[in-house]
A and B are shown apart, each in its own frame.
Chain A
Amino acid sequence: MHPPVPPKVKAVQVVAAQPTENDSAAITHLSATERRSIDPVTYLVKVQLEEKMPYTSSGWALYVGNTRIPKYWEYEQGIYFKVIDPQFFVEHQGENLRFTQDEVEFVDAGAQLGAPEAVPAAAIRRLRTQEEALK
């Protein structure tokens, strides 16, 4: 048995999707606390992996640059995390994705955070569901 191997990233894609009920609550909350209008869009950052993550407890924390992604989830081709504040992309676009298990040693994933696709106001109501966007 050897220490776990960090995930290898094939590609990173940002897709816009409809917010879930919970995402909508978060957008409302963030709009109120930040005092700015935030469109009802959830951006899914899909991190395509060469191999599925093993179902172990240890896991790998994901960073974009120096920012820790609090939670990520599994989809067919890898993992994804949600961004509800487009400002996140302004601040972190182009930064490297990194993995760590112990917050001391970091492994560069060899991929960067891309820009989200533009969502015209008229298209917001026609956005894919998250289930569709993760296919």
Chain B
Amino acid sequence: MPEAASVALTNPALPGDVPFDTIIYAAAGLVYPASLSQYAIYSTPDPAYITPRINIAAFANLGGGATWPFASSAIPLNGHVCVPQGRGPFPLVVFAHGNHQPVENSSPGYLYLCRLLASHGIIAATIDVNFLNGGNFGENDGRAIVHLEHLKQFRTWNNTAGHPLQGQVDLNRIMVVGHSRGGEAVGHASFFNRLSSIQPDSTSPVVPLDGSGPAPLGPYRFNLNAVAAIAPTDGQYQPLTGLTVVPDPYYVIHGARDGDVTSFPGYHTYNRAHAVDLANPTVSSGQWKAMLWVYNANHNQFNSIWASEAAAMPRASQEQIAKVHFGALAQAVLLRRPEYFAVLEDHAVATGWVPAGTEFVSQYQGPDRFFVQHHQEGAAPPVVSLPAQGTVFADSVTATRALTALVPGVTTTLTLRLAWSASGGRLLVRVDPATVPAERYKVLSLRVGQSVDAANPANRDQDFTLEVSSGSRTLAIAASSIHRLLYPAATIGGQKIMMQTLRLPVQRLIEEGVDPTDLRAISFVFDRRPAGVVFVGDLQFST
């Protein structure tokens, strides 16, 4: 159970014991006008950390609202970096902000996270992309390139004889984090990272990303252990190949009281990542993804500098949540303490570390999974998904699949809607045990969430019984004993239906006498509430 795991883990928001230095790095010769006085810190970088300029004119103009002392063909690589003292190599994390008042330097707003991570032995940087801020749109490919070029700079330092960072950067342990438009951009960075060239749009020539040409960009090819987005936008920049599908492990956190990116578009990014391939439904991407929806958190308070844009929890509480969850993420993927994946798999593991009473919805999909139902066959009655074989019966429950907009925006993922108006309804999923290799996996996993439909009483958790049967035994368990199914949060900008991942360990089935090699049926029994409507994303066995 989550509580037991919590005992074994240390609060990842607590500072570690590694001393570190905070260094300003920047291009040489930067003289900012008085109106941009907040950037004067970049005029006197540490002499060992002078950076080159790069040409991003093929991707973006500079943003308006400020007079920058450089052009888009020669933008500087500026940032703060917290460098642990002692012998490396240390993992690397690089944060990037999103769109904001350009006269206000947004970059230091993630130092509270950089300091935490550095104290645990991680090189943690927060970069300057302020010159792309303003009343512009579609420039997030440029933000992605800037982010990747900063990674390249750390690789250069790591490979430079005599540099303080020589041999200190573990290039096999890298995470990129972006907030807001920077959150969308890290998804593009993940995509660009694997390319040797990109054509930014239909009228532009191809831009090499292999280090060639007169204004070389790239090569990249970094080993990104995680791509993390804080309240990201989605699809403002659209590659010619279609909306970006993040190929690396993906993490997204979003506040329900977000007053800027109100529609939680990052959920679309999340859904596209590591989705089922209908042509090869048994093939997993080998990458995990995780989502955290934070009730009463807003957009700006994830950045310690940005003024709060909407009524929300206290800033200190929101920063504490960020520290806990980014701390856990970094522990799991950068410091190789896989036990911290427990926090990603189930946010309840972190209950004792976050402000009391904070409510969350979380999702997690392991790197390897087998779908019993993914629901993407079409808007038709639910079926067992191939190659699993079986049948689905609905008794006193209405089961329909549709492109329900769980969050606003263009929806491409089908979701199962289950509605019942009297206790005792049942959705029975019968499977041929020879076609479902449940014994190879760690958990039975499904995503379920309730809506504001009138059948769901306001502010009351929804519940049902999950039954799992083998030839001779059935485990019947309340969904609420695995996880709460919260009533939807009060949000700005349209209602959202957030599904919670329920993970029932296969070991638990075995302990209850259910034989995973002889799995016969999985049932949703609606006997715990007289009426209701829930949405089900998928039903899978997973790692």
Chain A residues with a Cβ under 8 A of chain B: 1-4, 20-22, 25-26, 28-30, 52-62, 68-75, 79, 84-85, 101-104
Contact of A101 among B64, B263, B311 (CB under 8 A): B263
Q: B409 on the interface (CB 8 Å rule)?
A: yes
Are the C-beta atoms of A59 and B410 separated by less than 8 Å?
no
- Chain B: minimal CB distance from A36 (Å): 13
Query: Chain A's interface: helix, strand, loop or mixed, by majority?
Result: loop
Q: What's the Cα separation between A75 and B100 when bound, in Å?
A: 16
Q: What's the Cα separation between A68 and B242 when bound, in Å?
A: 13
Q: B233 on the interface (CB 8 Å rule)?
A: yes
Chain B residues with a Cβ under 8 A of chain A: 57-58, 60-61, 63-65, 73, 98-102, 133-139, 180-181, 201-205, 231, 233, 235-238, 259-263, 265, 299, 309-311, 405, 408-410, 492-494
Known: A3-B492, A102-B410. A22 touches B135 (CB 8 A): no
Are the C-beta atoms of A20 and B134 separated by less than 8 Å?
no
* CB-defined contacts of B262 to chain A, threshold 8 Å: 3-4, 58
Are the C-beta atoms of B410 and A104 separated by less than 8 Å?
yes
Are the C-beta atoms of A103 and B98 separated by less than 8 Å?
no
* CB-defined contacts of A60 to chain B, threshold 8 Å: 137
Are the C-beta atoms of A56 and B409 separated by less than 8 Å?
no
Which residue of B has the minimal Cβ distance to A76?
A: B64
Q: What's the Cα separation between A57 and B230 when bound, in Å?
A: 12
Are the C-beta atoms of B58 and A22 separated by less than 8 Å?
yes
| Contacts between the two chains (Cβ within 8 Å), count | 114
Q: What's the Cα separation between A21 and B237 when bound, in Å?
A: 22
Are the C-beta atoms of B410 and A26 separated by less than 8 Å?
no
Contact of B260 among A57, A72, A75, A102 (CB under 8 A): A57
Which residue of A has the minimal Cβ distance to B312?
A: A1
Known: A29-B205, A72-B137. A22 touches B233 (CB 8 A): no
Are the C-beta atoms of A102 and B408 separated by less than 8 Å?
yes
* CB-defined contacts of A75 to chain B, threshold 8 Å: 64
* CB-defined contacts of B231 to chain A, threshold 8 Å: 57
Are the C-beta atoms of B180 and A79 separated by less than 8 Å?
no
Are the C-beta atoms of A1 and B135 separated by less than 8 Å?
no
Are the C-beta atoms of B137 and A71 separated by less than 8 Å?
yes
Are the C-beta atoms of B102 and A55 separated by less than 8 Å?
yes
Q: What's the Cα separation between A57 and B139 when bound, in Å?
A: 11
Are the C-beta atoms of B139 and A22 separated by less than 8 Å?
no
Are the C-beta atoms of A56 and B63 separated by less than 8 Å?
no
Contact of B203 among A30, A68, A73, A101 (CB under 8 A): A30
Contact of A57 among B205, B233, B492 (CB under 8 A): B233
- Chain B: minimal CB distance from A35 (Å): 15
Identify 7 residue pairs between A and B in the complex whose beta-carbon atoms are under 8 Å apart, listed by A's number: A1-B309, A26-B203, A55-B100, A55-B102, A57-B181, A57-B299, A73-B134
* CB-defined contacts of A26 to chain B, threshold 8 Å: 203-205
Are the C-beta atoms of B138 and A28 separated by less than 8 Å?
no
- Chain B: minimal CB distance from A115 (Å): 19
Are the C-beta atoms of A74 and B134 separated by less than 8 Å?
yes
* CB-defined contacts of A72 to chain B, threshold 8 Å: 136-138
Are the C-beta atoms of B57 and A21 separated by less than 8 Å?
yes
Are the C-beta atoms of A102 and B265 separated by less than 8 Å?
yes
